[in-house]
Structure 1
Amino acid sequence: MKDLVSNQLVKYLEDRGVEHVFGLCGHTVIAFLAAMSKSKKIKFVNVRHEQIAAHAADGYARITGKASVVLSHLGPGLTNAATGVANAALDSIPMVVIAGDVPTHYFGKHPHQEVNMHADGSQWEIYRPFVKRAWRVDRPDLFPEIIEKAFALAESGRPGPVLVDVPMDIFSQEVDVALFERVRHNAKTIYKPSLDDELAARIVKTLADAKNPVIHVGGGIVLADSAKELKEFVDHMGIPVSHSLMGKGALPDNHPLTLGMTGFWGTKFINDQCKKADCILGLGTSFKEADCSSWYPEYTFSFPPTKLIHIDIDPSEIGRNYPVEIGVVADLKQALTVLNRVAKKLFPEPRQNKALEQEIAAYKKEFKAANRELEESNAFPMTPQRILADVRAVLPQDAIITTDVGWNKNGVGQQFPVYEPGSILTPGGLATMGFGSPAALGAKVAAPDKVVVSLIGDGGFGQNPAVLATAAIENIGAIFIIFNNNAFGTIAGLEKAHYNTTFATIFERCGEPYSPDYAAIAKAYGVEGIRIEKAEEFKPALEKAVKDNKPCVIDVRMQNNPVPTAGHWNIMDIYSPGKKVHHVSTN
């Protein structure tokens, strides 16, 4: 029996449990769209720009823990989506991109929108630098095997995006249904490596013998769904936990042994705790530059003399940035399960460190007190600290937050308490401006019963305002809070501090601060739009938006004061050698 590839692809996705596909139409993919229109199980989330599709699919995958699906047209469609796919790649988010291509019989003839300046039929190579693998489907009989491999690779090992490039004539060709039936028998869950009891005992004893051990966690904890196992290990061993930006929330911020975020935007107390550690257990972290103060040993981590035990699913991360004493390639959920069992066998009674817990509690109290005046300020434009404090006061603990870049990302990492693992979605590796609002769309689609709020600057929101069209049409009840400082604020503060100018970083018209009326723009899209005129209006507006559970834009003017930085970033040495200046306020 034979059927069209497009029909069988839809059936394959249905059988795999795919419920949403994010994308945009184009002449190369309408055969697939026509087939999807008949599906009762798959919802197509239509967007106005492919970058929105990729970021939304990214947010969706972070919440579901499964590979999301992006549909893209060839040429400009594929390049438009590239930034969002690369962002997912650098944050290890599973994603299958299905892209249309020119007909196979026209490779190299430069038909409409073909990219072939250096090789014929080579569109798929655009994604080679950042996807786990890219396939071009040259024959319909190869399609079933390729799409099965694509999902398996996206979700296995270190997760990430893959590309399946499909010449448009392949969608419309017939394929033997038996080939799709064959791959349906393939296991859809692949078991991941663990560690043995002997190695676990060595790790536990090394930590127990250390004078000042620290556990440093990254986003890999959330990706591996191992936050519960992490907390169990921390509670039993009594070891404090620092985290990267991507690791925020892996252990709740109100846990007595949570130190906080390290590196450039980390505080001196947190960085000092890591620097003086004699042994650090790194879990699911790449020890990236911003989290490690550009790897300068005098600021955050000092390996050696500190000994490093590093566990990660990706062998290329072990020893990449710091030498390791014990390196382990393992799934974190499996590894922590073994570590917990062995730790309880070696130490039947929980190991407690009340003195350290009290020290951490005192630090958190002091930090909160130092921010209190800013958090309670009635100044307008509002202080960013007041905005974050009001957001935290209004939202339920399990609300999902998406950030963008700038104050909303760095300030949230440093000052905004997160209580539920996986409830904060942030663009870590690529730090992509414009991520926050479409990611909130995807998160809300994945978790419609949760409150979803995007914290995003006016620069970031201005990248993809067409996100509101999808929010309106699909009635996706995400809330978009725009931190509006009429600038690319973080870069403005850098340029002002080092070069005494804010050239090309401040939004002005005729010499005056300028910003579009985003509340009016929201209304034009058919979405609720609120422009805050004084600080006291913000909290009630957010409370109403949460209650309404409809798409809503809250545009709030904010002071452009930098996030405090106690760590270091090498770019400062490049800008101003021998000086200790970081950022300054541009207000």
Structure 2
Amino acid sequence: MKKLISAQLVKYLESRGVKHIFGLCGHTNIAVLAELEKSSIKFINVRHEQIAAHAADGYARVTKKAAVVLSHLGPGLTNAATGVANAALDSIPMVVIAGDVPSYYYGKHPHQEVNMHADGAQYEIYRPFVKRAWRVDQAELFPEILQKAFQLAESGRPGPVLISVPMDIFSTKIEEEAFRLLDHHIQVVEKPSLDEETAACIVEKLAKAERPVLYAGGGVVLADATRELREFAEHLNIPVAHSLMGKGALPDDHELALGMTGFWGTKFINEQTKNADYLFGAGTRFSEADSSSWYDNVTFDFPKTKLIHIDIDPNEIGRNYPAEIGAVADLKKAFITLNRVAKRLYPDGIDRNEQLREAIVNYRQSLRESISKNVSSTSFPMKPERILAEVRDVLPRDAYLTTDVGWNKNGVGQQFPIYTPGSILTPGGFATMGFGSSAAIGAKIAAPDKVVVSLIGDGGFGQNPSVLATAKEENIPVVWVVMNNSAFGTIAGLEMAHYDTTYGTRFQADGESYTPDFAAIAKGYGIKGIKIESAAQFKGVLKEAIAANEPVVIDVAMKNEPVPTDGKWNINDIYSPDDDKSHVSIP
């Protein structure tokens, strides 16, 4: 029996367990929307496609499954591109289904077609960053493409894929048997593990090392391998440092947890990784910020330090540093094998010198002391350290926190303890402004029983405030804390340090500092908005906002001060090659 592809698409998504789709309507996808109205799948309507992509990103990070975005062609697809690219660089699985012009109008330049260099080629816009982009040229091929899309998005190194569907194909009828054949195919492809011989070699080298460090990247969190990593680190008594995306792989209050490396890391942590004799990199690509722009003898010192590197993506092995042992494997399966081998070879574990544990305790104490003045400061606008400290005090250990770009990302990575693996959602590779506010929506939908707070700057929140419309319509109880310094603060501090100006980075009207009233904007969307008037007010307001179990925006004025940095970033050498400059405070 023949049925509409739009109807069979929705039925297939239901069979995969898809519960939510994020997107925005357009004349090319309304056939799908009409079918979704009859479905158990909830369509999360947004006002801008970038919001849809970021929300789907946050949703996928929490569920560990591919999220689905429904987009329109042309401007819809390009609006979503930033969010999809962000997901790609952070290895987040996502299936983007986009409407396209009618297949029989390719090249005639129908409404909103992108065809300056090739006809019917809108899908090629996504080719630089998705794992694959399909254009459906025949209706009968759609079921097979759909199955391949989900499989590719979730297998190997996860990431987004695009299916561009001409609108006439959505409204074409094909035999149901074409979709029924998909029922006989697995939905999850098994990922590679680590062989026993390689595992034994790794375990023995780490066991015999004098100063080993386990370096956790975001791949550990994505693979849901944090419990296994912890077991391995404890058994071999190895300290754990992490990249920005690996934050929380080991709880920050664990006695073996060092912290984040790189430009935004601290001298103590960078010294531990630089002076390691063996470094075990797990699920990390050794990105620029985490590696202090790959300068020798700052964060890492390869090949003096010997590198063991395991990643699901073979392209990452040796990309930035030479590896003595390199292996392609799923991190969860790899650590299961490593733990089994470690317990066989060293049943009593490894007894190492306790001095490092003591040093970690002393380091944490010294870090707290170094920021204690700002944490307790009653000045207003508030010190950013106090904002972070009070958010941490109020949040449950398992609350989800989304960040954006600036203090709310770099400061969180450095100074904000994460206690539950996977509970910090931050934009890593693409570092996209506007991510945090929308990702929080997706995280809360995926985990409705958890507290979700979004720490976001005024620049980032100002990019897509219409996320509040979705929160109101769907009653999504996220709390947004807008750290408001009336500027693109991190860039303002960078420009001031190198060029003695903040031109183009601060928000002003008539020569005076200017900021929208975000609390009033929230009220305009029908959401509770609170403007903080003193440092003493903030903590109580945040407690009440969380307890209210409704969407709330808290607008808190913040002093524009830089995140302390001990690493190195080559941008400083480019701008001021003869001076040791970085970011500075902006009055």
Q: TM class, shorter-chain normalised?
A: over 0.9
Secondary structure of 2:18's match? coil
Cross-structure match for 1:339: 338
Q: Which amino acid aligns with 1:270?
A: I
Cα distance in 1 for residues equivalent to 2:480 and 2:586: 24
Superimposed CA distance per residue, residues 521-541 of structure 1 (whole angstroms, 9 cap, x where no aligned partner): 000000110000000110011
Q: Which amino acid aligns with 2:349?
A: P
Cα distance in 1 for residues equivalent to 2:351 and 2:295: 32
- Map residues 363-442 of structure 1 onto 2, 5 A cutoff: 363-442=363-442
Superimposed CA distance per residue, residues 178-237 of structure 1 (whole angstroms, 9 cap, x where no aligned partner): 000001211011111111111111001111111111011100001000000000001100
Cross-structure match for 2:12: 12
Q: Which amino acid aligns with 1:443?
A: A
| Alpha-carbon distance, 1:298 to partner | 2.1
Asked if 1:504 is matched to 2:509, the reply is: no
TM-score by length of 2: 0.99
Secondary structure of 1:327's match? strand
Superimposed CA distance per residue, residues 405-458 of structure 1 (whole angstroms, 9 cap, x where no aligned partner): 001000000000000000000000000000000000000000011000000000
Q: Which amino acid aligns with 1:434?
A: G
Cross-structure match for 1:323: 322
Asked if 1:477 is matched to 2:471, the reply is: no
| Alpha-carbon distance, 1:486 to partner | 0.3
Q: Which amino acid aligns with 2:235?
A: H
| Alpha-carbon distance, 1:351 to partner | 1.9
Cα distance in 2 for residues equivalent to 1:47 and 1:198: 51
Cα distance in 1 for residues equivalent to 2:357 and 2:449: 35
| Alpha-carbon distance, 1:356 to partner | 1.1
Cross-structure match for 1:282: 281
Cα distance in 2 for residues equivalent to 1:525 and 1:23: 19
Q: Which amino acid aligns with 1:382?
A: M
Q: Which amino acid aligns with 2:509?
A: R
Cross-structure match for 2:160: 161
Secondary structure of 1:412's match? helix
Q: Alpha carbon RMSD of aligned pairs, Å?
A: 0.6
Cα distance in 2 for residues equivalent to 1:349 and 1:370: 38
Cross-structure match for 1:580: 580
Q: Which amino acid aligns with 2:112?
A: Q
Cα distance in 1 for residues equivalent to 2:380 and 2:141: 61
| Alpha-carbon distance, 1:350 to partner | 2.3
Cross-structure match for 2:546: 546
Moved over 4 A (4+): none
| Alpha-carbon distance, 1:154 to partner | 0.3
Secondary structure of 1:413's match? helix
Superimposed CA distance per residue, residues 103-149 of structure 1 (whole angstroms, 9 cap, x where no aligned partner): 00100000000000000010000000000000011111101000000
| Alpha-carbon distance, 1:369 to partner | 1.2
Cα distance in 2 for residues equivalent to 1:245 and 1:561: 21
Secondary structure of 1:579's match? coil
| Alpha-carbon distance, 1:580 to partner | 1.1
Secondary structure of 2:583's match? coil
Q: Which amino acid aligns with 2:470?
A: T
Cross-structure match for 2:567: 567
- Map residues 300-315 of structure 1 onto 2, 5 A cutoff: 300-315=299-314
Secondary structure of 2:401's match? strand
- Map residues 189-208 of structure 1 onto 2, 5 A cutoff: 189-208=188-207
Secondary structure of 1:89's match? helix
The unaligned stretches of length 5 or more in structure 2 are none
Cross-structure match for 1:521: 521
Q: Which amino acid aligns with 1:546?
A: I
The unaligned stretches of length 5 or more in structure 1 are none
Cross-structure match for 1:236: 235
Superimposed CA distance per residue, residues 294-336 of structure 1 (whole angstroms, 9 cap, x where no aligned partner): 0001210011111000000000000000001000000000000
| Alpha-carbon distance, 1:352 to partner | 3.5
Cα distance in 1 for residues equivalent to 2:27 and 2:104: 16
Q: Which amino acid aligns with 1:489?
A: G
Cα distance in 1 for residues equivalent to 2:91 and 2:299: 24
Cα distance in 2 for residues equivalent to 1:25 and 1:248: 36
Q: Which amino acid aligns with 1:193?
A: P
Cα distance in 2 for residues equivalent to 1:189 and 1:434: 32
Cross-structure match for 1:219: 218
| Alpha-carbon distance, 1:370 to partner | 1.2
Q: Which amino acid aligns with 2:22?
A: F
Cα distance in 1 for residues equivalent to 2:219 and 2:578: 36
| Alpha-carbon distance, 1:502 to partner | 0.3
Cα distance in 1 for residues equivalent to 2:495 and 2:167: 48
Cα distance in 2 for residues equivalent to 1:162 and 1:511: 46
Cα distance in 1 for residues equivalent to 2:374 and 2:513: 23
Q: Which amino acid aligns with 1:569?
A: W
Identical aligned residues as a percent:
68
Q: Which amino acid aligns with 2:135?
A: R
Moved more, 362-371 or 276-285: 362-371
Cα distance in 2 for residues equivalent to 1:66 and 1:304: 37
Cα distance in 1 for residues equivalent to 2:59 and 2:381: 33
